[in-house]
């Protein structure tokens, strides 16, 4: 029995409700009884699997190996690096009892794995021959946010990969920080069709315990920026705390240089918001679980012939991810709406008249454009159209980012532009008081990062009007 499954609000008029409806009606998320913890349904988890495949390939090219470390971290380990534990303490979930018995030491439910991994690294690394050590793990993390949870974007449990590496020299470690950042940029642009801005975090915004943090950030159609992934230089901070030492070629004891880097399921929320429209979710073709959906138009007299041709089409398109929707309990129109809601990149419609004319109707999800294609040209047409969909989604997102980025030179202009839902670029003097003023005077806003690509001409700080040092990106942010 058919029922109305479409969205009841528009993205521009009620964003929060739109997002809630999309993630549920597109079968991405199921809520649970634990606030901030969600079920990733196959439609969303399949995207995460594509991201895993891509990143695993890239990491292996850098000779990074996958491993797994425990979920539970003894309090004594977490406390070893003081600035690190201070940064995470408010968000840590603790295990204090086993049944009715109180544990002798509290166990943290993994907020991140530096401490549990580096305890092992201190045992494994003895000589320069043990370096570099490059491990990654695919796992979940728990950060008990006090803010209102938002599925994908700010959840209490999330999925991610976290890479942890140790090198003999600072130069090797620094090189990797930016190699990983480039990989993260490619994931967003090559897979998800989303442009990102590479940059460094300010001292106040860097990862707890890091020497410096780099990030890729993007700006969403609801007027908020979001951190898309991070790559941290840990310097020797953790090496000192955990005594990760090695004998160099001259038999002198040295501390290792370390990095950590991570990419999370926040990316699925970014994808939803960036590309979704008033009809629902839009999947870029390279991460779609179904790239092409074939919908036969069925009548009793021609049903058998139409289904047979659909099967032929599926075989012809075996290089792509293709499904046939031959459910008879639903009308073609209802199916069209459902597949548009769930974001299938390309739809093929085939009815008896099309069969006679040896043609099909192609419908793109990104533009909803229809075109008539001869069956003999179907493979090349599908291949070209899927490529065009990715390119169009990326171009549209880049155009949005460019249109909504504004450079200003005065503080009142920062306030106005951020409140007008713009990504603001302004020069900054690097003083904490100017950074704090932005946070204090504009609710929810901050310096999101310092772009790696800096202009040659430096202007005065837009906050205090004194000598500026660097251009920064400012916006309201998740």
In order of their start, the domains of the chain are 15-275 (3.30.930.10), 292-385 (3.40.50.800), 405-476 (3.30.110.30)
Where is 341: in which H helix or E strand? helix 332-341
Where is 363: in which H helix or E strand? strand 359-364
d(CA 17, CA 34): 20
pLDDT in tens, 341-400: 999 999 999 999 999 999 999 999 999 999 999 999 999 999 999 999 999 999 999 999
Reported confidence tier of residue 5, pLDDT bands at 50, 70, 90: confident
What confidence score (pLDDT) does residue 148 get? 85
Instruction: List all residues 6 or more positions away from 330 whose beta carbon is below 8 Å from its beta carbon.
Output: 2, 338
d(CA 390, CA 43): 19
Contact 113, 69 (CB under 8 A): yes
Tokens read off for 338 = 């459902």
d(CA 216, CA 317): 36
pTM of the model: 0.95
d(CA 135, CA 161): 10
Q: Of 103, 107, 106, 164, nearest to 132 (Cα)?
A: 164
d(CA 26, CA 282): 10
pLDDT at 1 over 50: no
Q: Which position has the higher pLDDT, 209 or 347?
A: 347
In percent, how much of the chain has pLDDT > 90? Answer: 94
Contact 350, 302 (CB under 8 A): no
Tokens read off for 94 = 């603790």
Tokens read off for 95 = 């295990």
Instruction: List all residues 6 or more positions away from 99 whose beta carbon is below 8 Å from its beta carbon.
Output: none
* Number of other CB atoms surrounding residue 395 within 10 Å: 12
Reported confidence tier of residue 2, pLDDT bands at 50, 70, 90: low
Q: How far is CA 66 from CA 56, 80, 263, 369, 396, in A?
A: 9, 25, 15, 43, 36
Rg (CA), the chain: 25
Reported confidence tier of residue 4, pLDDT bands at 50, 70, 90: low
Secondary structure of residue 425 in the 3-state scheme: strand
Residue 31, Cβ density class (10 Å: 0-12 exposed, 13-18 middle, ≥19 buried): middle
Q: How far is CA 416 from CA 12, 222, 466, in A?
A: 20, 16, 21
Tokens read off for 58 = 């890239």
pLDDT in tens, 36-58: 999 999 999 999 999 999 999 99
d(CA 145, CA 312): 51
d(CA 367, CA 239): 52
pLDDT at 203 over 80: yes
Contact 435, 447 (CB under 8 A): yes
**Which string of b and e fits 283-322 if b means at least 16 CB within 10 Å?**
bbbbbbbbbbbbbbbbeeebeeebbebbeebbeebeebbb
Contact 122, 147 (CB under 8 A): no
Tokens read off for 302 = 């021609």
d(CA 167, CA 171): 9
In percent, how much of the chain has pLDDT > 70? Answer: 99
Instruction: List all residues 6 or more positions away from 236 whose beta carbon is below 8 Å from its beta carbon.
Output: 255, 256, 257, 258
Mean pLDDT of the chain, nearest integer: 96
Contact 393, 284 (CB under 8 A): yes
pLDDT at 194 over 80: yes
Reported confidence tier of residue 116, pLDDT bands at 50, 70, 90: very high
pLDDT in tens, 413-438: 999 999 999 999 999 999 999 999 99
What secondary structure letter does DSSP report for 250? Answer: T
d(CA 20, CA 150): 9
What confidence score (pLDDT) does residue 80 get? 84
């Amino acid at each position: 029995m058919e029922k109305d499954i479409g969205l009841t609000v528009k993205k521009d008029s009620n964003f929060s409700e739109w997002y809630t409806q999309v993630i549920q009606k597109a079968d991405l998320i199921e809520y649970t009884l634990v606030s901030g913890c969600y079920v990733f349904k196959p439609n969303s988890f399949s995207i995460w699997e594509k991201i895993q495949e891509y990143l695993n390939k890239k990491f292996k090219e850098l000779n990074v190996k996958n491993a797994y470390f425990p979920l539970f971290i003894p309090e004594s380990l977490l406390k070893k690096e003081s600035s690190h534990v201070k940064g995470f303490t408010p968000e840590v979930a603790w295990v204090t009892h086993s049944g009715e018995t109180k544990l002798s030491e509290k166990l943290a439910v993994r907020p991140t794995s530096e401490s549990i991994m580096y305890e092992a690294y201190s045992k494994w690394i003895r000589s320069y021959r043990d370096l570099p050590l490059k491990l990654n793990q695919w796992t979940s993390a728990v950060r008990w946010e006090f803010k209102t949870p938002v599925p994908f974007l700010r959840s209490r449990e999330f999925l991610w990969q976290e890479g942890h590496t140790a090198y003999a020299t600072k130069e090797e470690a620094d090189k990797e920080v930016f190699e990983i950042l480039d990989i993260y940029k490619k994931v967003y642009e090559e897979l998800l069709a989303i442009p990102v801005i590479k940059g460094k975090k300010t001292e106040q915004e860097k990862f707890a315990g890091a020497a410096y943090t780099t990030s890729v950030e993007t700006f969403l159609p609801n007027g908020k920026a979001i951190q898309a992934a991070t790559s941290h230089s840990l310097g020797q901070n953790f090496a000192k705390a955990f005594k990760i030492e090695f004998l160099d070629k001259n038999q002198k004891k040295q501390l290792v240089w370390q990095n950590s880097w991570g990419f999370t399921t926040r990316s699925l929320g970014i994808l939803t918001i960036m590309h979704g429209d008033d009809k629902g979710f839009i999947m870029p073709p390279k991460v779609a679980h179904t790239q092409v959906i074939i919908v036969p138009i069925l009548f009793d007299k021609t049903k058998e012939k139409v289904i047979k041709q659909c099967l032929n089409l599926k075989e012809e398109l075996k290089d792509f991810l293709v499904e046939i929707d031959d459910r008879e309990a639903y009308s073609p129109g209802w199916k069209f709406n459902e597949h548009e809601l769930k974001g299938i990149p390309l739809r093929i419609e085939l009815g008896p008249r099309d069969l006679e004319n040896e043609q099909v109707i192609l419908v793109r999800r990104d533009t909803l454009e229809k075109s008539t294609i001869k069956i003999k040209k179907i493979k090349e047409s599908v291949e070209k159209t899927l490529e065009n969909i990715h390119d169009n989604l990326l171009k549209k997102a880049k155009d949005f980012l460019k249109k909504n980025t504004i450079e200003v030179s005065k503080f009142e202009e920062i306030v106005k532009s951020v409140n007008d839902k713009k990504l603001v670029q302004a020069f900054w003097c690097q003083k904490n008081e100017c950074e704090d003023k932005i946070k204090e005077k504009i609710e929810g806003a901050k310096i999101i990062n310092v772009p790696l690509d800096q202009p040659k001409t430096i202007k005065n700080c837009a906050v205090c009007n004194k000598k500026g040092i660097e251009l920064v990106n400012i916006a309201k942010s998740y």
